[in-house]
Homo-oligomer: A and B are copies of this chain.
Amino acid sequence: MLTKKSQYAFKALGYLADKQQDGPVLISEISKKKRIPLKFLENILLELRKAGILESKKGKGGGYFFKKDPADVKMATVIRLIDGPISMLPCVSLYFYERCKNCDEKHCGLHDVMRQVRDVTLEVLESRTLADLKD
């Protein structure tokens, strides 16, 4: 399951993608429209900015807006950033790999199945982008 945090992230990013032509959007506006706790949202947007996905402006007329083109940000990227691994096992993860103890990856049935799950999952999550969140 995705955490609330990444679900909020997607909602906020979807909203910002819609408003992309309107200039900076206030955190408080996103919070209200998408019903996301304000202070929690602050943290989330900050992370997305530090990751180079969003940009922000302080002071009057400030707010958040896209730094990258939404169409260039894969869903997988956001999940990895906010929640971490997408795979079901550390030993099949591409970005968060950890060797599994007491199990030979060469002939481990579980490993094979979970690698397959990872592959089909990533086929979806790396082909879909934040532009797909627009309505």
Contacts and interface: CB of A to CB of B under 8 A. Distances in A.
Contacts of A123: 120
A14 B124 contact: no
A122 B107 CA distance: 23
A117 interface: yes
A135 B103 CA distance: 12
Interface in A1-27: 1-2, 7, 10-11, 14
A73 B87 CA distance: 22
A52 B65 CA distance: 53
A109 interface: yes
Interface of A: 1-2, 7, 10-11, 14, 34-35, 75, 85, 87-90, 101-103, 107-110, 112-114, 116-117, 120-121, 123-125, 128, 132-135
